[in-house]
Amino acid sequence: MLQLQTIRENKESIITALKKRNIDAAPMIAAVIELDEKRRSIQTELDGILAESNKLSKEIGQLFKSGKAQEANALKDKTAGLKETSKQLGDDLNATAAALQEQLYLIPNVPHTSVPAGNSDADNEEVFREGDIPTLFEGAMPHWELAKKYDIIDFELGVKITGAGFPVYKGKGARLQRALISYFLDKNTAAGYTEMQVPHMVNEASGYGTGQLPDKEGQMYHVQADDLYLIPTAEVPVTNLHRDDILAESDFPIKYTGYTPCFRREAGSYGAHVRGLNRLHQFDKVEIVRLEHPNNSYQALDEMVEHVKNILRELKLPYRILRLCGGDLGFTSALTYDFEVFSTAQDRWLEISSVSNFETFQANRLKLRYKDENGKSQLAHTLNGSSLALPRVLAGILENYQTENGIKIPDALVSYCGFELID
C-alpha cells in the first residue's frame, strides 16, 4: 500500500509512473485525496466539539460548586447536544477512514525506474541467459509421459482423490521431490537464511498484510467456517512474522527461508502449456524472504538473484532471467526478476522463480517499521523469491536429463536422493 503522505506530495509523479502498468491512476489518486481531505475536515470538526465539550464540563462543575444549579443544568443540555453531534461525527470519521483504506488498497505499487514499459509477458526484458540446451535423442518425451513410463507421478490418481491439479508423487518421484526440498533449504541456510516452519493457513490480516487480499482473493482457497486462507506461497506467513513490529537498524538484514505446500485456485485452461506439472492447484515451494533497510534493499535483490543463479548452475539446467515489464508486474512489486528454465522436450521456457523487491508497499500494510538513527519510526523494505518452486524444476530435470536408458539425477542431488538414475 502506498503511503498517504507520499501520494499527497507526489501525486503527478505517481500517476505518471503507474502508466507503466497501463493504468490510469488519476481517478484513484483523486478519490484518495478527496477522502483524506474529508477525513481531515471531520477530524478537525470533531476535535473542536470535543474540546468545547470538555471546556463546558469544567464550567458545569464550577457552577455546581458555586450553587448555580440552574445555569449548570442549562449547560448540561448543551453538552448533551454536543455529545450527540460528536457521536455522529465519530461514525462519519470511521466510515470515511474505512473508505479511504479500501481506496488505498486498490492502488498497486509504483514500478521501479528500471521496469520496462509493456502490456504483457511478451514485453518482458531478457537480462541474462546461461547453460547449454541439451540435444535429446529421437523419441524423447515430455515430463508427463516420462512420469507415466517410469511410474513416478500419477496425475489420474490425484484426480481420483481430489481433482485435476493435485498430482501424486510415487517411489523415486517422491524421493526426488523430497531431495529437491532438502537441497534448496540447505543451500538457503548455508547462505545465511534462517529456516522457519510456518502455518499453511493464514488469517485475513495476514492476507492483507502481504497484498494477496483483496487483489488475489479469487485465487485463494478460503476456509469459510474459520475465515482462514490456504497459503498461495510461504511469502505470506513468513513475511507476517514481523507484522506490527518495530525493529532496530541493527536487526537488518533479516533473512528467512521456508518450505511449504502452496495452494492456488487459478483459472483452468487447456493445452500442453498447462499439462502435467506446468500448472497445479497444489505444489511445493521453498521461499526466501528478506527484511531490509531501505538503503540496502536493491543490493539485497541482486544478492537474491545471484543466489538463485548459483542453485541453477549446480543443477546444470539452462535458464534465463527476465525483468518484468509494467504490464506483467505483480500488484505489490516494485521490481521483479523471473527465472525460467528451458524444457527441451516441450521446447519452451517454464517459469520457476520470481524474485521481487516490494520496497515499503507491504511494510506499510504490515506496519513493519524500524527506528532510525534519530529514533524516528520508518518503514522497512521487504523482498522475497522462490528458491525454488518445485514442479517446473522437476519437469525440467525429467525432460533435460532423460536418456534412452532412464533419467539421470543431477550430481548435486545424488547424495540427497540416494540413487543416480530413474529407470
Cis peptide before 383 (omega within 30 of 0): no
Burial label, 172 (beta-carbon count in 10 A; 0-12, 13-18, 19+): buried
Q: Classify strands 254-263 and 194-195 as parallel, antiparallel or unpaired.
A: parallel
Q: How far is CA 319 from CA 123, 220, 349, 415, in A?
A: 18, 29, 8, 24
CB 399 within 8 A of CB 140: yes
352 carries a ligand binding annotation: yes
3-state DSSP assignment of residue 33: helix
Q: Containing H/E element for 406?
A: strand 406-408
Quickly count: other Cβ atoms within 10 Å of residue 218's Cβ: 10
79 carries a ligand binding annotation: no
What are the residues facing 292 on neighbouring strands?
Answer: 381
Quickly count: other Cβ atoms within 10 Å of residue 300's Cβ: 19
233 carries a ligand binding annotation: yes
Burial label, 232 (beta-carbon count in 10 A; 0-12, 13-18, 19+): buried
Residue type, 403: T
| Cell numbers standing for residue 256 | 528467512
354 carries a ligand binding annotation: yes
384 carries a ligand binding annotation: yes
57 carries a ligand binding annotation: no
156 carries a ligand binding annotation: no
138 carries a ligand binding annotation: no
Q: Classify strands 222-223 and 125-130 as parallel, antiparallel or unpaired.
A: unpaired
39 carries a ligand binding annotation: no
- Give the rounded distance of the alpha carbon of 7 from its chain centre: 22
265 carries a ligand binding annotation: yes
Q: Which residues line the annotated binding site for ATP?
A: 264-266, 351-354
Q: Which residues line the annotated binding site for L-serine?
A: 233, 264, 287, 384
Q: Which residues line the annotated binding site?
A: 233, 264-266, 287, 351-354, 384
